[in-house]
């Protein structure tokens, strides 16, 4: 690991957990915001149109690995219902922000995340590459959790235009950090997006089980990580950081 110059993290699931979040309540805030902005909508008709637009754009997001932000399918849903609006409409922007309020509030740092980042920060360039449909939520979450100053670069799929495991989003981070792929290691909790995506571009990888992906999910994945860890502080042993040499990180069997 002597040649490693940068450590790049996934965010949600890897550095932060989602605690007490209700999608149903968030969607209710979205709908009520649109009503307040003057759209005459029935709940049933709106969410039928919303789900139709969402599913259509999911094909683009997951098959073409091109990110699509929420305002696009909300405006498309309203279009199905007879409204001539664009994703840039301020009423839609307000509704999107209302929708994400609870998500932002529900994000909590994983155990030992901040302490681990503090130790790595003095020795390596640090970055984040994360899939998310609305980049402002990620930037706000990093500030809220008081870890934004640790990172030299934060690449969010909505801002980049590409989703993991598309190589382009990883290359964007590597370029911003001024490191080659074999000089960086990626830490993530998703077998396909994080581990497979990072390995495709030539990065070393560390997987960590999360609330979204278990150790068994990692073991069943066709692409194995170079290392698997149980908690974030175990990363320090991989780099032989003083005081953390009792843990022996191992590649998945």
- Domain end position, chosen among 81, 105, 129: 105
The residue segments making up the domain with residue 223 are: 6-19+109-238
Tell me, yes or no, whether 172 lies in a domain: yes
Q: Are residues 39 and 152 in the same domain?
A: no
Burial class of residue 6 (count of CB atoms within 10 Å of its CB; 0-12, 13-18, 19+): buried
Please, which residues have CB within 8 angstroms of residue 195's CB and are 6 or more apart in sequence? 186, 188, 205, 207, 218, 221, 223, 224, 225
User: Residues 199-208: contacts with CB within 8 Å, 24+ apart?
Assistant: 199/223, 199/225, 200/165, 200/167, 201/167, 201/170, 201/171, 201/174, 203/8, 203/170, 204/1, 204/4, 206/235, 206/238, 206/249, 207/252, 208/14, 208/232
**Given pLDDT bands bounded at 50, 70 and 90, which one contains residue 251?**
very low
CA within 13 Å, CB half, 188: 27
Number of structural domains in the chain? 2
Q: Where are the strands (E) in 44-148, listed by range?
A: 107-109, 125-130
Give domain status of residue 251, yes or no: no
Residue 60 inside a domain? The answer is: yes
144 and 225 together in one domain:
yes
Please tell me what DSSP assigns to residue 2: T
pLDDT for 143 equals 98
Residue range 6-11: mean pLDDT, rounded? 98
246 is a domain residue: no
Verify that 113 and 98 share a domain, yes or no.
Answer: no
Dump pLDDT digits (tens) for 145-182.
Answer: 999 999 999 999 999 999 999 999 999 999 999 999 99
What confidence tens digit (pLDDT) does each residue in 36-58 have? Answer: 999 999 999 999 999 999 999 99
Same domain, 28 and 116: no
Q: What is the pLDDT of residue 1?
A: 66
Domain end position, chosen among 74, 105, 136 = 105
Average pLDDT rounded to a whole number, residues 213-237: 88
Pair 139, 180 in one domain: yes
Q: Mark whether 55 and 145 lie in a shared domain.
A: no
**pLDDT of the residue at 200:** 95
Cα-only R_g, the chain: 20
CA separation for the pair 157, 189 (Å, rounded): 17
Residues 160 and 185 in one domain: yes
At residue 37, the pLDDT reads: 97
Do residue 96 and residue 190 come from a single domain? no
Task: Tell me, yes or no, whether 132 and 182 share the same domain.
Answer: yes
Contact 223, 199 (CB under 8 A): yes
* Position 1 in a domain: no
Longest Cα–Cα distance in the chain: 63
pTM, entire model: 0.92
DSSP 8-state code for residue 154: E
Residue 171 lies in a domain: yes
| Within-domain flag for 153 | yes
Single residue among 105, 131, 151 that ends a domain in this structure: 105
Mean pLDDT value across the chain: 92
Q: Is residue 250 part of a domain?
A: no
Same domain, 138 and 209: yes
Q: Are residues 148 and 231 in the same domain?
A: yes
Give the CATH number for residue 172: 3.40.50.1000
Q: Are 30 and 54 contained in the same domain? A: yes
């Amino acid at each position: 690991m002597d040649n490693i110059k940068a450590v790049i993290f996934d965010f949600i699931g890897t550095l932060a957990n989602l605690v007490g979040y209700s999608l149903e309540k968030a969607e209710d805030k979205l709908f009520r915001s649109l009503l307040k902005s003057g759209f005459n909508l029935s709940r049933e008709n709106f969410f039928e149109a919303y789900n139709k637009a969402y599913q259509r754009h999911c094909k683009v997001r997951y098959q073409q690995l091109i990110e699509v932000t929420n305002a696009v399918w909300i405006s498309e849903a309203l279009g199905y219902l007879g409204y001539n609006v664009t994703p840039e409409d301020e009423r839609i922007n307000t509704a999107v922000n209302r929708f994400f309020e609870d998500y932002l509030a529900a994000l909590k740092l994983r155990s030992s995340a901040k302490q681990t980042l503090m130790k790595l920060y003095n020795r390596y360039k640090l970055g984040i590459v994360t899939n998310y449909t609305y980049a402002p939520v990620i930037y706000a979450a990093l500030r809220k959790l008081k870890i934004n100053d640790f990172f030299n670069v934060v690449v969010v799929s909505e801002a980049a235009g590409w989703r993991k495991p598309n190589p382009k989003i990883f290359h964007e981070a590597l370029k911003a950090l001024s490191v080659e792929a074999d000089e960086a290691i990626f830490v993530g909790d998703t077998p396909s997006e994080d581990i497979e995506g990072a390995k495709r571009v030539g990065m070393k990888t560390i997987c960590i089980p999360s609330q979204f992906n278990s150790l068994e999910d990692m073991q069943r994945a066709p692409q194995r990580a170079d290392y698997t860890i149980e908690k974030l502080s175990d990363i320090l042993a991989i780099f032989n950081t003083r005081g953390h040499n009792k843990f022996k990180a191992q590649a998945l069997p």
